[in-house]
Amino acid sequence: MTATENPLLASEGLPRFDEIGPEHVEPGMGALLEELEAAFERFEAEIQPTWQSAVEPLELLGDRLGRAWGVVGHLMGVKNSDALREAHEAVQPRVVTLGIRMGQSRPLYDALRTLREGSGWNALDPAQHRIVESLLRDARLSGVGLEGEARERFNAIQLELAELATHFNNHVLDATKAFALTLRSADEVEGLPESLLQLAAQLAREAGEEQASAEAGPWRIGLDAPCFIPFMEHARRRDLRETLYRAYVSRASSGELDNVPIIRKILTLRREEAQLLGFVDFAEVSLSTKMAPDVPAVERLLEELRGASLEPARAELEELRSLAREQGAPEAEDLALWDVAFWSERLRESRYAYSDEDLRPWFPFPKVLEGLFSLAQRLFDVTITAADGDAPIWHADVRYFRVCDADGEPIAAFFLDPYSRPGEKRGGAWMDECLGRSRLLAPTPGGVRLPVAYLVCNQAPPTDGKPSLMSFGEAETLFHEFGHGLQHMLTRVEHGLAAGIRNVEWDAVELPSQFMENWLYERDVVRGISGHVETGEPLPEALFEKICAARNHMAGSTMLRQLYFALTDLTLHGGYDPQGGESPFDVQRRVAERTTVIPPLPEDRFLCSFGHIFGGGYAAGYYSYKWAEVLSADAFAAFEEAGLEEDEALRETGRRYRETVLALGGSRSPMEVFTAFRGREPTTEALLRHSGLLEAGG
Mean pLDDT across 62-82: 97
Res. 422: pLDDT tops 90: no
Question: Residue 575's pLDDT band (boundaries 50, 70, 90)?
Answer: confident
Q: Which amino acid is at 365?
A: F
Mean pLDDT across 29-52: 97
What was the pLDDT predicted at 51?
97
What was the pLDDT predicted at 59?
97
Report the distance separating Cα 331 and Cα 325, nearest Å: 8
Q: With contact defined as beta carbons under 8 Å apart, do 534 and 498 qualify? A: no
Residue-by-residue DSSP string for 275-309: HHTT-SSHHHHHHTTSSS-SHHHHHHHHHHHHHHH
Report the distance separating Cα 273 and Cα 154, nearest Å: 6
Q: State the SS3 of 483-519.
A: HHHHHHHCCCCCCHHHCCCCCCCCCCCCHHHHHHHHH
What was the pLDDT predicted at 213?
96
Helix axes 295-326, 337-352, angle to 10 degrees: 70
Mean pLDDT of the chain, nearest integer: 95
Question: Residue 409's pLDDT band (boundaries 50, 70, 90)?
Answer: very high
Nearest to 200 by CA among 184, 218, 173: 218
Q: State the SS3 of 551-617.
A: CCCCHHHHHHHHHHHHHHHHHHHCCCCCCCCCCHHHHHHHHHHHHCCCCCCCCCCHHHHCHHHHCCC
Question: Residue 577's pLDDT band (boundaries 50, 70, 90)?
Answer: very high
Predicted confidence (pLDDT) per residue in 497-506, tens digit: 999 999 999 9
Q: State the SS3 of 148-209.
A: HHHHHHHHHHHHHHHHHHHHHHHHHHHHHHHCEEEECCHHHHCCCCHHHHHHHHHHHHHCCC
Predicted confidence (pLDDT) per residue in 207-232, tens digit: 999 999 999 999 999 999 999 999 99
Angle, vertex CA 430, rays to CA 429 and CA 431, nearest 5: 145
Mean pLDDT across 97-108: 96
Mean pLDDT across 549-574: 95
Mean pLDDT across 166-177: 95
Res. 449: pLDDT tops 90: yes
Residue 533 has phi, psi (to 5 degrees) of -60, -25
Which range is least confidently modeled, 299-308, 359-368, 559-568, 681-690?
Answer: 681-690
Mean pLDDT across 448-466: 94
Which range is least confidently modeled, 12-16, 270-274, 308-312, 683-687?
Answer: 683-687
Res. 546: pLDDT tops 50: yes
Nearest to 460 by CA among 236, 245, 194, 248: 194
Report the distance separating Cα 202 and Cα 204, nearest Å: 5
Predicted confidence (pLDDT) per residue in 263-305, tens digit: 999 999 999 999 999 999 999 999 999 999 999 999 999 999 9
Helix axes 624-642, 647-657, angle to 10 degrees: 150
DSSP class of 54: I
Instruction: Give Cα separations from 302 to 305, 310, 592, 684, 689 (angstroms).
Output: 5, 12, 14, 11, 16
Report the distance separating Cα 656 and Cα 379, nearest Å: 10
What was the pLDDT predicted at 85?
96
Using the CB atoms, write b or e for 329-341: b if 16+ within 10 Å: beebeebebbbbb
**Domains within the chain, CATH numbers bracketed:** 7-145 (1.20.1050.40), 179-251 (no CATH)
Q: Which amino acid is at 483?
A: G
Q: With contact defined as beta carbons under 8 Å apart, do 662 and 380 qualify? A: yes
**Of the residues 345, 481, 510, 522, which is catalytic?**
481
What was the pLDDT predicted at 692?
84
At 7, is the secondary structure helix, strand, or coil?
Answer: helix
Predicted confidence (pLDDT) per residue in 499-541, tens digit: 999 999 999 999 999 999 999 999 999 999 999 999 999 999 9
Helices (H), 381-446: none
Nearest to 544 by CA among 693, 376, 359, 344: 359
Number of helical (H) and strand (E) elements in the chain, helices listed first: 27, 7
Residue-by-residue DSSP string for 626-656: HHHHHHHHHHHHHHHHH-TT-HHHHHHHHHH
What was the pLDDT predicted at 142?
97
Res. 309: pLDDT tops 70: yes
Predicted confidence (pLDDT) per residue in 621-643, tens digit: 999 999 999 999 999 999 999 99
What was the pLDDT predicted at 698?
37
Question: Residue 696's pLDDT band (boundaries 50, 70, 90)?
Answer: very low
What was the pLDDT predicted at 4?
76
What is the dihedral angle through the alpha carbons of 438, 441, 445, 451, rounded to the nearest 10 degrees? -50
**Higher per-residue pLDDT: 22 or 580:** 22
481 is an active site residue: yes
Mean pLDDT across 61-80: 97
How many other C-beta atoms lie within 10 A of the C-beta of residue 181?
19
The pTM for the full model equals 0.90
Nearest to 161 by CA among 77, 87, 268, 71: 268
At 64, is the secondary structure helix, strand, or coil?
Answer: helix
Report the distance separating Cα 341 and Cα 327, nearest Å: 16
Mean pLDDT across 72-84: 97
Report the distance separating Cα 96 and Cα 526, nearest Å: 45
What was the pLDDT predicted at 333?
86
Question: Residue 580's pLDDT band (boundaries 50, 70, 90)?
Answer: confident
CB burial of residue 117 (10 Å; 0-12, 13-18, 19+): exposed
Which helix H or strand E contains 410, and what residues bound it?
strand 410-419
Nearest to 420 by CA among 244, 228, 618: 228
